[in-house]
């Protein structure tokens, strides 16, 4: 995608949603970190349903350690991989107490050293909690980057690096949120909703998906013919 098209691409997303935010619910940096860890291979909506009651009572590493792994499992048992996630959350909470004064570190490498925290989770926390210009590439961003031509790559890291290189100011801070939301609600995996996409003319994806009614008419015509 050409530089002028990239600027226009982000400009349209920014105009539609000037202040994008994560859809994960949290009450502070610590609960944000926990929520992001829990969101791996799970939906934000599912995580929110499980954590609303949890975060109302448990909002510090000390409270989480006191709750314990068994107690945490009761709260998050509707989330996929809840057994391993509960173990990691308790372990990372203990690590925060012992190594970081119970605070979430504003450091990418320190975050990745915590149990259950990978590169994507660290990028989300650095961006959302601390305002760093990071690109947390999930399945949505990986798809949007490759499908549109904005940042094509065979791996998550390759897409992240291309986004970092291609995304100009003033779009860098909010870029990953715009792309996640676009992938979640418009540029969907199985059937992208190209007919209502505000950047479809800039997108490299050629078999544009027609509106549902147009598709039905075409199918009836083909059947009749």
> Would you name the residues annotated as active-site residues?
120, 138
SS3 sequence, the chain?
CCHHHHHHHHHHHHHHCCCCCCCCCCCCHHHHHHHHHHCCCCCHHHHHHHHHHHHHHCCCHHHHHHHHHHHHHHHHCCCCCHHHHHHHHHHHHHHHHHHCCCCCCCCHHHHHCCCCCCHHHHHHHHHHCCCCCCCCCCHHHHHHHHHHCCCCCCCHHHHHHHHHHHCCCCCCCCHHHHHHHHHHHCCCCCCCCHHHCCCHHHCCCCCCCCCHHHHHHHHHHHHHC
Distance CA 183, CA 101 (A): 37
Binding-site positions read 187, 194, 197, 203
The dihedral formed by the CA atoms of 158, 160, 162 and 164, expressed in degrees to the nearest 10: -150
Binding-site positions for [4Fe-4S] cluster read 187, 194, 197, 203
Asked if residue 163 lies in contact with residue 180, where contact means CB atoms within 8 angstroms, the answer is: no
């Amino acid at each position: 995608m050409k530089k002028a098209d990239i600027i226009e691409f982000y400009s349209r997303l920014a105009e539609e949603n000037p202040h994008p935010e994560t859809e994960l619910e949290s009450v502070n940096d610590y609960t944000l970190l926990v929520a992001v860890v829990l969101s791996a291979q799970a939906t934000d909506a599912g995580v929110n349903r499980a954590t609303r009651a949890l975060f109302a009572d448990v909002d510090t590493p000390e409270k989480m350690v006191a709750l314990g792994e068994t107690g945490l499992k009761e709260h998050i048992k509707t989330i996929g991989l809840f057994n391993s996630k509960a173990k990691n959350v308790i372990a990372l909470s203990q690590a925060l107490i012992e190594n970081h004064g119970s605070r979430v570190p504003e450091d990418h490498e320190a975050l990745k050293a915590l149990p259950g925290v990978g590169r994507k989770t660290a990028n989300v926390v650095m961006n959302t909690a601390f305002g760093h210009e990071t690109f947390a590439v999930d399945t949505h961003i990986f798809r949007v980057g490759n499908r549109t031509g904005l940042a094509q790559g065979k791996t998550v890291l390759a897409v992240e690096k291309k986004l970092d290189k291609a995304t100009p100011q003033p779009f860098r801070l909010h870029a990953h949120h715009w792309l996640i939301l676009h992938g979640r609600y418009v540029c969907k995996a199985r059937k992208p909703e190209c007919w209502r996409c505000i950047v479809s003319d800039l997108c490299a994806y050629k078999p544009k998906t027609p509106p549902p009614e147009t598709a039905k008419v075409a199918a009836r015509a083909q059947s009749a013919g």
